[in-house]
Amino acid sequence: MKKLVLGNTGIEVTELCFGALPMGPLQKNLSVEDSAEIVKSALQKGITFIDTAQGYKTYPPIRKAIKETGIRPIIATKSPASDYKQMEAAVNEALEMLDLDYIDIFHLHAARASTDVFDVRNGAFQCLLDYKAKGKIRAVGISTHSVKVAAMAADIKEIDVVFPIINIKGMGILEGTREEMEASIKKCINNGKGVYLMKALAGGNLVNDYDKAMSYARSVADVSVALGMVSLEEVEFNIAYFNGEDTKAFSKNIGKAKKFYPVPSICIGCGSCEKTCPNHAIELHEDKKAIIDYNKCIQCGYCVGSCKSFAIRMI
């Protein structure tokens, strides 16, 4: 599989990055054992890059897969921690739960944040820089849905890696257009930042146009693309595609589109999902029941984790 170096970091990754969000409790909620088998397959078949996060709750299967294969991939993780103490706890949690001596890339998890993120979360950012100085983090980054934040990150020398959202439909992009995000990404690359892309399939919304969506993402820049995978067949399909192999033999159910749905009879109208959604895709209706705008939803699953009554299901 094609390999790339992330900007000036010296970190080499495969063009296809294993996205660990969908297999966890925010979406598919697979067991640790089943998830580990999927990660093991990805590692054994050549993927060397895994993207996860504190909130995804997928550290255990990743650790298990690393132990059982003996393969140490590049690990990128992230935390929404707002201050130094919280971020320090997040870094130590990742090191301990993954049983690693260092984390390759640690992002400020800032999907919904705007350009004041580095002021509002200065303590958390400083913690990442301090842990990089200690050798516990190789590269400091930011994950963002904002065009303005991506452009700003390009000019911040302490930022090594930027993980922006982009897809052919522009779904989920905040504070700008798809074309403006393309420009921000190119600015990051020109300034030596490592870049890899999230939500190229818009959280599964574009799965029926997989080739078109992937062709677009790969044309934006010569960078890695993170794709969530929840089955052995999806791992094989994605690897075959990125290797330029024939994928016709794979099941037509690969990546079959699903949607999150708030069950009215269970929803208690607390509004936690509305506050959590990074793309303002869910809100309470006049009857105090949550409703999702599927034109904005990117299937991140954050609403699932925030729901106090477990009312949001994937169908």
Residue that has been written with the tokens 């993780």 in this structure: 77
Write the class of the CATH domain 3-242.
Answer: alpha beta
pLDDT digits (tens, 9 = 90+) for 105-123: 999 999 889 999 999 999 9
Closest Cα to residue 145, out of 104, 105, 198? 198
Domains of the chain, residue spans: 3-242, 260-314
Q: Is the pLDDT of residue 90 over 90?
A: yes
Span 252-279, average pLDDT: 81
Beta strand residue intervals within the chain, DSSP E: 3-5, 12-14, 16-19, 49-51, 74-79, 103-109, 137-144, 161-164, 194-197, 224-228, 260-262, 282-284, 290-292, 312-314
Q: Which CATH architecture has domain 260-314?
A: 2-Layer Sandwich (3.30)
- Gap between the Cα atoms of 273 and 256, Å rounded: 25
Q: Give the tens place of pLDDT for each residue, 30-51.
A: 999 999 999 999 999 999 999 9
Residues 6+ apart with CB under 8 A from 35: 23, 24, 58, 61
Task: Tell me whether the CATH fold assigned to 3-242 matches the one assigned to 260-314.
Answer: no
- Could you tell me the pTM of the whole model? 0.88
Task: Of 79, 157, 160, give the one whose Cα is nearest residue 124.
Answer: 79
Which stretch of 11-25, 112-126, 237-251 has the lowest confidence by average pLDDT? Answer: 237-251
